[in-house]
Amino acid sequence: MSPLALQPEVGSFILPFALLAPILAAFIIVFLPKEEGKTIKLVAALGTLTSLLLSLYVFFAYDRSLAGMQFNLTIPLIPDIGVNLAFGVDGISIPMLLLTNLIAFTAVYSSWNIENRVKEFFVLLLILIAGVMGTFIARDLFIFFLFYEIVVIPIYIMVIIWGSTKRVTKEYAGMKLTIYLLLGSALLLVAMVSLWVNATNQLAAMGQGPTFMFDELARLQYDETFQIICFGLLAVGFGSLISMFPFHSWSPDGYAGAPTAVSMIHAGVLKKIGGYGLIRLGLMVFPLGAKFWAPVIAVLAVVNVLYAAFIALAQKDLKYVVGYSSVSHMGYVLIAVAALNITSINGAVAMMFAHGVMSALFFSMIGFIYEKTHTRNIAELGGLAHQMPRLAVGFLLAGMAGLGLPGTVNFIGEFTIFIGTVKVLPVHAVVGIAGIIFTAVYSLRLIANVLFGPRRKEWDHLKDLRGPELVPLVVLVFVIIITGVFPNTVLQLIDTGVQSSGLAKVLEAVTQAKMGGLF
């Protein structure tokens, strides 16, 4: 047992407290005068710090020897249809919970200098954070879907009010993002209702009531055709969220149109809901469907990696470079899911955590650059390391992590994915590895064109990061280095989640079985 473990009745409230902290902060801000900008920011920072500290406690107190779902809380909500307010975490969801709160805390400080409608901004930001967090701690499919829907509205409002982009209008970017997310959620809703009806019929035959609980749904047996149809719906629904080709075009525009904090959350954790959903729901409940669609997903994933990386080479806007880079990196996660083995899934979760931290740091530094220079045009920048050496450190490390430099958090995720994928999909793995070449080219060129070169006198008035602006730099750089140098701190936890959730047994069975012979 972990030495930090609490009594079960106490520990079960850790996750609800973490979820309620940003909600309570938003509630307090509603009653603060709009002129109290500094107080509003401090309340938002305190709310996100509380959630971060609680998630760190969960990370260290989680009993790895016991494994399985811990910190569980289950409250019947709508018994007639089997809905429970059920929270809990395991080795797969804890990294996502920690990632969410790391980015949430730093996103507040990345928005510290905002002056336009400060009160409304932080209320919406805190609601968005709570919605994302809820998806990773929910053990009930209905509650998972509810939190996912909560995420969509704040994002749309924040993009159209506080967003900025030169290529397209922020209204266009916000509407495009929202339409894609809602279309994806519509397909998820169809799959969810179909699953509930099928599961309810099976449970009724056994004399049991209906349920939406993930673990109970995963124990039931579904025929092959049903699994293929439902996983196909999930693949498109979650795939559009994770920016799977050809459902990816909303993502770069969404990044460019969003304010810095939303770009950080969008790239850092919102996309990860798609990968998490495919693993938690898709693979666990519909393994035969996953096996059927895996070849298609693998091909689309390779297109993700190469196409998006190639497009990133041609971009002139900082956010669009990182936006297409994010689409490319999500291709590695999709390849790992398609490989259907323990090693690749471990790598997928590690990669989601790594990319979340890296992209959040990248967008935070880009946000500060835009705030100080009023441009994101790469051609207009250059030599910024002379005037802003602290910002240059963060930008440089984000770029190095993005190309998978050993010693940074991304390296172990990519390496584990390739190890797991090459055994099952050798051609896809080799082609995917080739995508690293494009990644290195656009990353190094971006760093060179923005940070280095001769000193440009027009930027001599710029002030380096200071005060609250240093928080995202210090926190995210620390996480990138620590988890890069000591990757087992995250990998061991992820592996316990894959093993204890039963996913390892499911993957072993589905890869060996012929279609129709698993059950």
User: For position 512, what pLDDT does the model report?
Assistant: 67
* Residue 437 binned pLDDT confidence (cut-offs 50, 70, 90): confident
pLDDT band for 165, please (50, 70, 90 cuts). low
Q: What is the DSSP string of 114-179?
A: --SSHHHHHHHHHHHHHHHHHHHHB-BHHHHHHHHHHHHHHHHHHHHHH---SSS-HHHHHHHHHH
Alpha helices by DSSP H, 403-502 = 409-422, 426-451, 470-485, 488-500
CA distances from residue 391 to 64, 127, 387, 422, 434 in whole angstroms, order as listed: 37, 29, 9, 38, 30
- Computed over every residue of the chain, the mean pLDDT equals 86
The backbone region for 89, taken as left when phi is positive above 0, alpha when psi lies in -120 to 50, beta otherwise, is beta
- Give percent of the chain with pLDDT exceeding 70: 95
* d(C-alpha 61, C-alpha 3), whole Å: 7
Question: How many beta carbons lie within 10 A of that of residue 56, not counting itself?
Answer: 14
pLDDT, position 394: 92
Residue with tokens 């304010």: 259
Task: Determine the number of helices (DSSP H) and then strands (DSSP E) in the chain.
Answer: 23, 2
**Helix-strand-coil percent breakdown of the chain, rounded to 5?**
75, 5, 20
pLDDT band at 465 (very low <50, low <70, confident <90, very high): confident
Q: Beta strand 70-78 with 83-89: parallel, antiparallel or unpaired?
A: antiparallel
Per-residue model confidence (pLDDT) at position 518: 43
- Distance, in Å, from the CA atom of 465 to the CA atom of 477, rounded to the nearest integer, reads 14
pLDDT-based confidence at 519, cuts 50/70/90?
Answer: very low
Task: Please give the residue that has the higher pLDDT: either 499 or 493.
Answer: 493
Q: Which range (7-16, 34-43, 55-64, 114-123) has the least confidence?
A: 7-16
Q: Is the pLDDT of residue 8 over 60?
A: no
Condensed to tens digits (0 to 9), the pLDDT of residues 265-309 reads 888 888 899 899 999 898 889 988 988 998 999 999 998 888 888
Long-range contacts of 167-176 (CB under 8 A, 24+ apart): 167/253, 167/256, 167/317, 167/320, 168/253, 168/256, 168/257, 169/257, 170/257, 172/253, 172/257, 173/253, 173/254, 173/256, 173/257, 173/258, 174/254, 174/257, 176/249, 176/250, 176/253, 176/254
Please say if the pLDDT value at position 152 is more than 90.
no
- Please state, in angstroms and as integers, the Cα–Cα distance from residue 18 to each residue in 45, 104, 136, 307, following that order: 14, 12, 12, 39
pLDDT band at residue 402 under the 50/70/90 scheme: confident
Is the pLDDT at 158 greater than 90, yes or no? Answer: no
Q: Rounded distance, CA 355 to CA 413, Å?
A: 9
Between CA 502 and CA 496 the distance in angstroms is 10
Q: Structure tokens of 488?
A: 């087992």
Nearest CA among 422, 425, 404, 398 for reference residue 487: 404
Q: Mean of the pLDDT values across residues 22-28?
A: 94
Q: Are 340 and 420 in contact (CB under 8 A)?
A: no
Q: H/E element holding 288?
A: helix 287-313
pLDDT score at 168: 57
Instruction: Count other C-beta atoms under 10 Å from residue 216's C-beta.
Output: 17
Based on C-alpha coordinates, what's the Rg of the chain? Answer: 22
Instruction: Name the helix (H) or strand (E) containing 72.
Output: strand 70-78
Q: pLDDT (tens digit, 9 = 90+) per residue, 225-267?
A: 999 999 999 999 898 888 888 877 777 777 777 788 888 888 8
Q: Which of 187, 188, 216, 220 is nearest to 202 (CA)?
A: 220
Q: Residue 85: exposed, middle, or buried by beta-carbon count in 10 A (0-12, 13-18, 19+)?
A: middle
**The predicted structure's pLDDT at residue 169:** 66
Question: pLDDT, tens digit, for every residue of 88-142?
Answer: 999 899 999 999 999 999 999 998 888 888 899 999 999 999 999 999 999 999 9
Q: What is the DSSP string of 407-418?
A: TSHHHHHHHHHH
Per-residue model confidence as pLDDT tens digits over 325-359: 888 888 899 999 988 888 888 999 999 999 999 99
Which positions ≥6 away from 122 have C-beta within 8 Å?
26, 29, 40, 41, 43, 44, 108, 111
Phi, psi at residue 81, to the nearest 5°? Answer: -115, 5
Distance from first CA to last CA of the chain, Å, rounded?
36
Cβ distance 266 to 393 under 8 Å? no
Q: Measuring CA to CA, how many Å separate 215 from each of 77, 147, 335, 501, 502? A: 17, 19, 25, 8, 9
pLDDT at position 517 is 44
- Model confidence at 405, pLDDT cuts 50, 70, 90, reads confident
Q: Determine the pLDDT at residue 257.
A: 76
Q: What is the pTM of this model?
A: 0.91
